[in-house]
Amino acid sequence: MKRFESKVVLVLGGNAGIGRATAEAFAREGARVVVAARREDQGVAVVQAIQKQGGTAKFLRADVAKEADIKAVIDGTVKEYGQLDVLFNNAGIEGKNGPIASLGASDFDETFGVNVRGTWLAMKHALPHLVKTKGTIVNNGSVVAEIGFPDFSIYSATKGAVHALTRATAMEFIPQGVRVNAVAPGPIETDMAARAFGGLESLRAITKQTVPTGGPGVVEDIAAAVLYLASPEARFVVGQVLVVDGGLTAH
């Protein structure tokens, strides 16, 4: 039997990168997957790819900066499949970055509105359903919440908040049988990382010197970690931030 047979998984920000890889991985393991994102064309493409491989998936459009969208996508998931077992809180933006003195309050509000408020709202609306299924939440954090990364003050702060939300919510809901954890990716080959490092080749060149494994990870590395945290094998893992960074933060 596949690990997520009969389970229903909602992937927020499932249209590309880590979200897409994780949605596809859950589907291969037997889950019925709902892909939610702002970009409908990309999200539909992910669903079609899953269906082509024999999986079950549905796309629902959602902007996590809007509470009504979050509630609608969670309610829509339960209406479609009758339950919710796993929430992967992956939707996020890098926002505007640069020297802290060059950033404005609107930059702060925009990035926190998606990365932190969106994560919090998704947990808030999903938890009543997850209590019923003794389900699990995996939030997407980042190593930049744990180490200093110049010119990324706002983004780093949002991910620090996600880690804190993860721990606090885990303690609040483990008595009701819901496990909450987070994954903290290091440098991964995604469009977002490429933008941050000035291109994919620059990302590879820099991480060749700074990451002990000799380069960036790939989206499948994070998908595997998310599936572990959501699986029965991680039943004793609660309120943790699993760092997946090729050893970057170990030295």
**Residue 52, helix vs strand vs coil:** helix
Rg, C-alpha atoms of the chain: 17
Q: Is 155 a known active-site residue? A: yes
Sign of CA dihedral 206, 207, 212, 214: negative
Helices (H), the chain: 17-28, 40-52, 67-81, 105-112, 118-133, 153-173, 191-197, 200-210, 219-230
Cβ-in-10-Å burial (0-12, 13-18, 19+) of 126 comes to buried
Measured CA to CA, the distance from residue 181 to residue 242 in angstroms comes to: 8
Measured CA to CA, the distance from residue 62 to residue 13 in angstroms comes to: 9
Among 28, 155, 181, 182, the one annotated catalytic: 155
Cβ-in-10-Å burial (0-12, 13-18, 19+) of 251 comes to exposed
Just list the catalytic residues. 155
